[in-house]
Structure 1
Amino acid sequence: MTETIGGHGGDLALAALRGFGVNELFTLSGGHIFPLYDAARRAGLRILDVRHEQSAVFAAEAVAKLQRRPACAALTAGPGVTNGVSAVTTAQFNGSPVLVFGGRAPSWRWGAGSLQELDHVPLLAPVTKHAATVLDTEDIVGDVYGAAMAAITGHKGPAFLDFPLEVLYGHPEAPVVLPRMFAPPVVEADPDDVARAAALLAGAERPAIIAGSDVYTGDAVGALRAAAENLRVPVYTNGMGRGSLPPEHELAFSKSRRAALSDADVVAVVGTALDFRLNFGDFGAATLVHIVDDPAQRATHIEPEVSPAGDLRAVLTALADYAGHRADHDDWIEQLREIEDSAREDDQVALEADGDLIRPSRVYGELRKVLARDAVTIGDGGDFVSYAGRYLEPATPGCWLDPGPYGCLGTGMGYAMGARYTYPDRQICVLMGDGAAGFSLMDVESLVRQNLPVVIVVGNNGIWGLEKHPMHQLYGYDVAADLQPGLRYDDVVRGLGGAGETVAKAGDLSGALNRAFASGVPYLVNVLTDPADAYPRSSNLA
């Protein structure tokens, strides 16, 4: 029996999303898209609004990442859409199935200079999997369904549709048939490629696996664990791959990655790009295996020994089932564990560092004591967040959100909104540099107004640390890298209806963090950190 839908264009657009699990709409109000609000209100979808359009898209991306399904942001025409472009690009780099609906000036008056008249599609096409204008009210259901399917088919990513005013406000002449919901086709990897990858890992003397975000978004965490355990291979993680193996697992490693990649004879990179974060896939003499979820994700700048491309859960399950020859990896695992244990002892000194000025490592030493195993931690910043990647070890998969390889600042408040919406009862902690605070802190008001409590920890060193220290090394001086020292970002949050405090002494961190998590409101802990403390960076950005 077929299902039909009537009403205006907003009703049709949201009805087409129903089968994809979309129950919310992130937005900033605009007259071009009022029918979407009307439809959401009558259908019982939650509307969450923000103070800047990029936060709406970031919030939708957080939901898409955490819940592994499409999520939707609605932006008004012209500047509403262009304000969201950096966030859409972030979703493209992260493989996040975000649907962005844009308003559009009316077609029948196109070219006459209507308010916010702009052809968005050429701007969005390069940073989405699909971008189009819906030309007729009767086309809305089919076009939205097609955009959502594009977002979740193959390697996931964002899709964009804009709706001319008369299309979204219009009514179809007759009820429109809703399409039957189909799961996207499963991409099957070449079995020979999978068998070669398994044999290389199993037969290596010193193998290593690096697992990235697509392992989580592809629901392949259990299969990764089984593959690692069956083949006895140490696992390192990045992005949302963090937590795939809990820190206490015998094959979970983090502190010995440089040594492992220097000495390994086979490195398998699973579900993440061979970009600057992984030295572009150059691991010296090691044989490279690159396992991706879609052939389009295969690297073009380097040629791996083998690159299975297909559903990651199926590929990793096949690795877990491998029954061929296996070398003994116990000595290799023990060697890495000794390096790991030594590094952890060194870390402990940094985590407990005291002194007149607070080191970022001490902030994380105190956070480790109060964060629950299933806390969602969100990174939005440069140096301060780099320390988070070093010292925080998520114990639960899907609990780490960072901007990803595009490196866009300003994700913090949007990601916090999406995370709190997804997990009403978990700790949500935003780790933010004072530079990043300038991009999105006004959206604390959105969190306060919509009763979305989160904890925000700002590492306030009064500089753009990611730029100041390297520029000084290059030129002996720096410019455009200083911020006002000691700014009271907690006062900003209080002024917006939240709460907070400034911490200038390491001994006061514990109490401040406990008060923050107990507060039940957006609470900012403004930590004055040492501006001379520079993260020891080794990434080759180009």
Structure 2
Amino acid sequence: MSETTVAQLIAQRLKAQGVRRIFGLCGGHIQPLWDAVSREGIEVVDVRHEAAAVYMAHATAELSGELSVAMVTAGPGLTNAVTAISNAYVSRSPVLVISGRPPRPQTGMGAMQDIDQAGIVEPICRLVEQVSERHHVIGRLDKTIAAALGAANGATGPAYIDFPTELLDEIVHDADIPALAMEPRTAQTVAADPVALARAADAIRAASRIVVIGGRSVRSAGPEVHKFLDTAQALYLDSGESRGVVRDDSPAFVPAVRGRAMSEADLVITLGRRLDFQLGYGSPAVFSPDARFLRIGTCFEELGENRRGDVEVFGSTGSVLAALTEAGATPAAPDTAWLQDMRDSNAKRTAKLAEKLADPNPDSTGRMSPNFVVGAVNNLLTEQSVAIADGGDILSFARVGLKPVDYLDCGALGCLGVGVPFATAAALLRPEEPVVAVIGDGSFGFTAVEVDTAVRHGAKAVFVVVNNEAWNIERHDQVERFDNNLVGVDLPGCRYDLLAQGLGAHGERVENAEDLADALKRALDNAPAVVDVVVSREAKSADFLGGLAAVPPRQAVGPWNAAELERYGQS
């Protein structure tokens, strides 16, 4: 160990953690570490923009359940990554972000790429560490890894650490290496307090209409969730954080009657899920005023944010649900008629949606509906697939229409541009499984050049660009609310298939509905591939029809906002 450099020691610690792949973009301030991780046998996936590196780490962490790493250089390298770090923070995704900074002798002198990096990322990270001495390297790296995994306060999320460049070349000695800090960290399993568990079991026994809403912790607790749903005779609603864990083969899964389930349940159980705008902040204007809430989680956001739980259980989702199942927590008098009615209504609406997804429903210009593209993508997906949705308008169609396979989307931050890097990371993580991203044309523009990353690294993802040549939610809004004064919403004439070909990928353009299925099949056979599908801009998404574009004052969507205003006695 006497000739080991700091950079090599960091690489060894990351390898010990189980990190097999690092996403990043090279730069002088991190070059010693960039070299060291490669020589240590960790695959380096080099991207074209630093935000894509963090997006790819984010997707890998979500799909693997493990810590994932992004490495970016100093100054603009880090500032380029800020949006993606913010997205990981809102999503509570365990991402370790590593950067460099100018050499210590140049501190405060206006060095190249010198900026207050810690101050920039501090509000969007679980922990920020800046290391200046070699004997602090491993201890603080270990601390940062632990913070990302939620060991500090139960909240997972991005954590940041940087090193001055010349420190990376220093030689470390045995005394600089705390042995225990070299050991890998794992996500903690938190057993719940027996008193809180007893209160939770009592709440379940007293309920008759239970709805469970899954958050990100469900991904690591699938068997326990399924068993609990059966035992508790509960219905289940997923979210982008957990989609794919519970699927259509479960009688509990009723996504097509989401609004009814939320408004009619007398007990709402949240599993590692924030009550954010997507859930109406838990408001009695959205849920039944008489509903009780049982909140299960490991941090304040999951337990008490916006609406405190009538019962709050601090603990890991899997261990808490296993304990409740073992305790026989089931309703004493379940409303079986309601349960059957909800399942029947869900089946009817699902069948009606299937008809929409199979109908090209051309508009006045002959362009196909976005729903038809989603339906065609469904025909590519297998039980082992990963589906990605990215965009504004198309996200609304895809969120409802895509099969409930393993799934990622823009998340609660509404972060456009994740589609290409998310799908590329998913395809690298699961190379034998179909990975398909449905991406709006506007959103595709943010990270389109990352198709090159997919090509260079052999990520066999299919990127379906749903091209209505517009920022279409905003376009409809400008037509209807702003007297057709169209400003900055049209994106005409872009040929994303030719862009893909120029980057070395397979590219096709589809203008006719009858050509779509074959084009998608060819794309899957020749991935990475871009299929540029021209669709109707006349189609109005559920998000637009729900008033999302208007940004209502009390709730994110119009009907909930109206109910909230009525609750406050306002019109």
- Into which bin does the TM-score normalised by the smaller protein fall? over 0.9
**Residue 523 of structure 2 corresponds to residue 516 of structure 1:** yes
Return 5+ residue gaps in structure 1 as ranges: none
1:123 Cα deviation after fit: 0.8
Counterpart-to-counterpart distance in 1, 2:245 and 2:2: 42
**What amino acid is the match of 2:386?**
V
Deviations 1:413-443 (A, max 9, x none): 2212321221111111111101111100001
SS of the equivalent of 1:307 reads strand
1:306 to 2:311 alignment: yes
Paired residue secondary structure (1:66): helix
Letter in 1 for 2:445: G
Give the equivalent residue in structure 2 for 1:112.
109
Q: Do the aligned residues in 2 keep the contact of 1:5 with 1:176 (CA within 8 Å)?
A: no
Q: For residue 343 of structure 2, give the secondary structure of its aligned residue in structure 1.
A: helix
Give, in whole Å, the separation in 2 of the partners of 1:347 and 1:237: 18
Measured in 1, the distance between the counterparts of 2:477 and 2:2 equals: 58
Question: Which one-letter code corresponds to 2:494 in the other structure?
Answer: L
Partner residue of 2:169?
Answer: 169
Report the CA distance between 1:446 and its aligned residue. 1.3
The structural deviation recorded for 1:391 is 0.8
**Kept after mapping to 1: 8 A contact 2:189/2:316:** yes
Distance in 1 (CA, whole Å) between partners of 2:253 and 2:230 is 10
Q: Take 2:493 and 2:304, find their aligned partners in 1: how far apart are those partners?
A: 44
Q: In the aligned structure 1, how far is the partner of 2:328 from the partner of 2:41?
A: 52
Q: Percent identity?
A: 32
Between the aligned partners of 2:2 and 2:327, the Cα distance in structure 1 is: 50
Aligned twin of 2:562: none
Structure 2 match to 1:369: 379
RMSD over aligned CA atoms reads: 1.9
C-alpha distance in 1 between matches for 2:465 and 2:323: 44
Give the corresponding residue for 2:288.
284
What is the match of residue 21 of structure 2?
Answer: 24
Which residue pairs with 1:198 in the alignment?
A: 201
Question: In structure 2, how many angstroms separate the alpha carbons of the residues matched to 1:199 and 1:527?
Answer: 53
Tell me the CA shift for residue 328 of structure 1: 2.6
Q: Which residue of 2 aligns with 1:330?
A: 336
Aligned to 2:461: 454
Task: Tell which deviates more after alignment, 419-428 or 77-86.
Answer: 419-428
Confirm or deny: 8 A CA contact 1:211 1:269 kept in the other structure. yes
Q: 1:5 to 1:28 in 2, by over 3 A?
A: farther
Q: Unaligned regions of 5+ residues in structure 2, if any? A: 549-554, 558-571
2:564 matched to which residue of 1?
Answer: none
Q: Which residue number in structure 1 is paired with residue 77 of structure 2?
A: 80
**What SS class does the counterpart of residue 33 from structure 2 fall into?**
helix
Specify the alignment match of 2:252 in structure 1.
251
- AA partner of residue 462 (structure 2): V
2:142 maps to which of 122, 142, 145: 145
Q: For 1:253-305, what per-residue CA distance to the aligned partner results, in whole angstroms no more than 9, with x for missing partners?
A: 11011111122222112221101101111213222222222345323322321
The answer to whether the Cα contact below 8 Å between 2:282 and 2:306 also exists between their aligned partners in 1 is no
How many Å apart are 1:77 and its aligned residue? 0.5
CA drift of 1:97 comes to 1.1
User: Is the contact between residue 135 and residue 177 of structure 2 (CA under 8 Å) also seen in structure 1?
Assistant: no
Residue 134 of structure 1: aligned partner: 131
CA contact (8 A) 2:2 2:172 kept: no
SS in structure 2 of the partner of residue 239 of structure 1 = coil
* Aligned residue among 512, 516, 533 for 1:527: 533
Distance 1:511 1:198 in 2: 52
Which residue is equivalent to 2:214? 211
Equivalent of 2:490 in 461, 483, 486: 483
> Shift in Å at residue 48 of structure 1?
0.7
SS at match of 1:163: strand
Residues 201-260 of structure 1, C-alpha deviations (whole Å, 9 max, x = no match): 3432222111122211xx111111111000110111012321222212111111011111
CA distance in 2, matches of 1:484, 1:414: 22
User: In the alignment, which of 96, 100, 103 is matched to residue 100 of structure 2?
Assistant: 103
Structure 2 counterpart of 1:274: 275
Query: Structure 1 residues 15 and 262, CA, compared in 2 at 3 Å: closer, same or farther?
Result: same
Do structure 1's residue 320 and structure 2's residue 325 form an aligned pair? Answer: yes
Q: 1:398-437 alignment to 2 at 5 Å?
A: 399-437=406-444
Q: 2:299·2:314 contact (CA, 8 Å) conserved in 1? A: yes
Assess, with a 3 A threshold, how the Cα gap between structure 1 residues 184 and 342 changes in structure 2: closer, same or farther.
closer
Given that residues 6 and 12 in structure 1 are in contact (C-alpha distance below 8 angstroms), is that contact kept between their aligned partners in structure 2? no
Structure 2 counterpart of 1:413, which letter? V
TM alignment of 1:333-348, pairs within 5 A: 333-348=339-354
- Scaled by the length of structure 1, what TM-score is found? 0.94
Which one of 459, 477, 495 corresponds to residue 470 of structure 1?
A: 477
Q: Is structure 2 residue 446 aligned with structure 1 residue 442?
A: no
Alignment deviations for residues 85-110 of structure 1 (CA, whole Å, 9 cap, x no partner): 11111111111111111110112111
Q: Paired residue for 2:551? A: none
**AA at the equivalent of 1:508:** D
Counterpart Cα distance in 2 of 1:200 and 1:472: 49
Query: In 1, Cα distance between the equivalents of 2:108 and 2:63?
Result: 41
CA contact (8 A) 1:27 1:53 kept: yes
Q: Distance in 2 between matches of 1:493 and 1:338?
A: 44
User: Counterpart of 2:359 in structure 1: which amino acid?
Assistant: A
Normalising by structure 2, we get a TM-score of 0.89
Post-superposition offset of 1:486: 4.2
- Residue deviations 1:113-164 (CA, integer Å, cap 9, x gap): 2110112001111100111211112321111111101111222111101111
Match of 2:563 in 1: none
Q: Which moved more, 1:488-497 or 1:502-511?
A: 502-511
- 1:91 corresponds in structure 2 to 88
1:389 aligns with 2:399: yes
Bigger mean CA offset, 95-104 vs 319-328: 319-328
SS of the residue 2:476 aligns to: helix
Alpha-carbon separation, structure 2, partners of 1:85 and 1:467: 25
Higher relative contact order (CA closer than 8 Å, sequence separation 6+):
1
Moved more, 95-104 or 237-246: 237-246
Shift in alpha-carbon separation, 1:323–1:84, aligned structure 2, 3 A: same
* 516 and 144 in structure 1: CA distance in 2 versus 1, 3 angstrom threshold: same
